[in-house]
Chain A
Amino acid sequence: QSVLTQPPSVSGAPGQTVTISCTGSGSNIGAGYDVHWYQQLPGTAPKLLIYDNNNRPSGVPDRFSGSRSGTSASLAITGLQAEDEADYYCQSHDSRVTGSRVFGTGTKVAVL
């Protein structure tokens, strides 16, 4: 099982703001390792959405923002749009396994 826990699903109406949490521990997020976020549309490969906690790659709308505090991180989507309906994953490193990369459990965002 993953060491990073996310809520299975969140939902919101178009235009609203939704927030996805990513809860870790002292061996990953709490140790100061960067957190990244990915969006996976149905039937496609994941796409980098946020890197190094709060940075957006070129082309990612500023409706998406990330933050990290203590042993958790969050992804916020403001002005929710129908095209945002997808699965979202956080990712970091866990020091208990040398060289490991760890993903969150994933969150399905539904646009009502």
Chain B
Amino acid sequence: EVQLVETGGGLIQPGGSLRLSCEASGFIVSTKFMSWVRQAPGKGLEWVSVSYSDAETYYADSVRGRFSISRDNSKNTLYLQMSGLRVEDTARYYCARERAAQSNANAFDLWGQGTMVTVSS
């Protein structure tokens, strides 16, 4: 079955760090552009970061310098290392696959169920 499964969310204090994982099955992560998208409670979708490859990654202004996206091709898994967490980072974090590996305007054709991150003291 083709799917994405995110893990690693939880309750963390402001300033803390957390690593999210997204394990893919049914396709090879290294052949795809992969993104993280988040959704704060009751709010809309916000793109966070994309990994084209190990060497080419991009970030939203709101997380640049604090978050780092990476992948382990041997485990077919995408990661999001989050540090310097803020209350406003509280959200459900989704892993999403892009349907094409060729431009900045690809659609997300596969989503995980998400993992909740709560930043609070």
Binding site for B on A (CB under 8 A): 2, 33-34, 36, 38, 40, 45-48, 51-52, 57, 87, 89, 91-93, 95, 97-106
Does the CB pair A33–B94 fall under 8 Å? no
Residue in chain A with minimal CB distance to B49: A99
- Distance between B81 CB and nearest chain A CB, rounded to angstroms: 18
Chain B's interface size range is 20 to 34
A93 to B52, CA, bound (A): 15
Residue in chain A with minimal CB distance to B58: A99
A36 to B99, CA, bound (A): 11
Does the CB pair B58–A45 fall under 8 Å? no
Contacts of B61 on A, CB cut-off 8 Å? 97
- Distance between B66 CB and nearest chain A CB, rounded to angstroms: 16
- Distance between B68 CB and nearest chain A CB, rounded to angstroms: 14
- Distance between A47 CB and nearest chain B CB, rounded to angstroms: 7
Beyond the given A99-B57, A100-B104, A103-B47, please list 11 additional residue pairs across the A-B interface where CB-CB is below 8 A: A34-B103, A38-B108, A40-B45, A45-B111, A51-B109, A57-B109, A91-B47, A99-B58, A99-B59, A101-B35, A103-B37
